[in-house]
Amino acid sequence: MDNKKDAFSQLDLAMLPDTGNTLVYDNEFMVGDNLSYPYDKAEASSFIKPNHPFILNFSMMIFCVEGGMRINKDLMELELHAGDLLIVLAGSIGECLEISSGCKLVLMAFTAPLGNEIGNFAYASLLRKNPLLHLSPDEAEETLLIYKQMRKKIEQAEYKFTRNALANYLQVLFCNACNNISQMQFDKPSEAEERTHVLFDRFIELVQQHYEQEREIQYYAGLMCMTPKYLSRVVFQASGRYAGEWIRDYVILEAKALLKSGKYNVQQVSIKLNFASASFFGKYFKKSVGCSPRSYASE
């Protein structure tokens, strides 16, 4: 979707809000938390924002200490609960859906230079497929301890090796995360299951390329030389969701981004997404989102 990124707001490290307990090092590393006060829904923009689709220009880790939150990451809806660690790498498309009252979070965010220094690209493929980790009590305790050590190093103005220390702490967190993933028990998929996932990956790839112009399952089934019925069955077996739902969600994700960008009105968005009319687009959008495109844009 690289050719479509202009539609999405770019969320830079400097745009993250000050929680009242935020520290920044050299404009490329930030730590923050709300451990001293519980999250209040009335302060919806004070910790994780915005509440519409955006592209991260940095990588971040969110550790949930209490409560929970729901996010949409690259069209995967994820739920964090106490003891969960979410790792989101730069370039991901995200949307914060809900944060529970009383939620307490720890945030560690860093830009590409520091990420390159710790070699995080070696972990990229594994972490993109497994971004949400359910930590054991010992792992959760260690994560919180490392976070606090990072804070101490940033606060020690006389310390000469802050950057190195932060990179090494991040290295440990990444290694712990990958170790956590490697310990997950997966049954070896059968040959039929492997083929199903290969077909699903191909379907998603085609949807990412063509959803702006094509919303019909028949179109994608034709590209894959199979019947729409068979494609729907394959997609459902691989993901638990129907092909039409995946297509719709990509269209809606783009529509939300375009509407929130401030660059396009409803009529222009409907044309860009190849709807027959703004009225038809409005009905399609409201059925999926629960409000009209105009109302969503003005929220």
Instruction: Give per-residue pLDDT as tens, 123-139.
Output: 666 777 789 999 999 99
Mean pLDDT over the full length of the chain:
84
CATH 1.10.10.60 segments of the chain: 191-298
| Cβ neighbours of residue 170 closer than 8 Å, sequence gap 6 or more | 108, 110, 114, 118, 120
Instruction: Give per-residue pLDDT as tens, 64-116.
Output: 999 999 988 888 889 999 999 999 888 788 888 888 888 899 999 988 766 66
CATH 2.60.120.280 segments of the chain: 2-182
Instruction: Give per-residue pLDDT as tens, 144-157.
Output: 999 999 999 999 98
Which pLDDT band, with edges at 50, 70 and 90, does 236 fall under?
A: very high
In the predicted model, is pLDDT for residue 5 greater than 80? no
Higher pLDDT, 17 or 282: 282
In the predicted model, is pLDDT for residue 120 greater than 80? no
The residue type of 101 is S
Instruction: Give per-residue pLDDT as tens, 277-299.
Output: 999 999 999 999 999 999 998 87
Which CATH superfamily does the domain covering 2-182 fall into? Regulatory protein AraC (2.60.120.280)
Q: How many CB atoms lie within 10 A of CB 102?
A: 12
Mean pLDDT value of segment 247-275: 91
* Per-residue pLDDT, 128: 76
Query: In Å, what is the CA distance from 131 to each residue of 68, 83, 288?
Result: 16, 14, 26
231-257: burial string, b at 16+ Cβ within 10 Å, e else:
bbebbeebbeeebeebbbbbbbbbbbb
Does the N-terminal peptide bond of residue 50 adopt cis geometry, omega within 30 degrees of 0? yes
* Per-residue pLDDT, 45: 45
Mean pLDDT value of segment 211-217: 94
Mean pLDDT value of segment 207-234: 94
DSSP string, the chain: -GGGGGGSEEE-GGGSPP-SS-EEETTTEEEEE-TTS---GGGTTSSS--SS-EEESSEEEEEEEESEEEEEETTEEEEEETTEEEEE-TT-EEEEEEE-TT-EEEEEEE-HHHHHHTTGGGGHHHHHH--EEE--HHHHHHHHHHHHHHHHHHH-TT-S-HHHHHHHHHHHHHHHHHHHHHTS--PPPPHHHHHHHHHHHHHHHHHHHHTTT---HHHHHHHTTS-HHHHHHHHHHHHSS-HHHHHHHHHHHHHHHHHHHTS--HHHHHHHTT-S-HHHHHHHHHHHHSS-HHHHHH-
Q: Give the range with max mean pLDDT: 33-37, 210-214, 262-266.
A: 210-214
| Cβ neighbours of residue 83 closer than 8 Å, sequence gap 6 or more | 64, 134, 135, 136, 137, 140
In the predicted model, is pLDDT for residue 38 greater than 80? no
Q: What percent of the chain has pLDDT over 70?
A: 82
User: Which CATH number fits the domain 191-298, given the four candidates 1.10.340.30, 3.20.20.80, 2.40.70.10, 1.10.10.60?
Assistant: 1.10.10.60
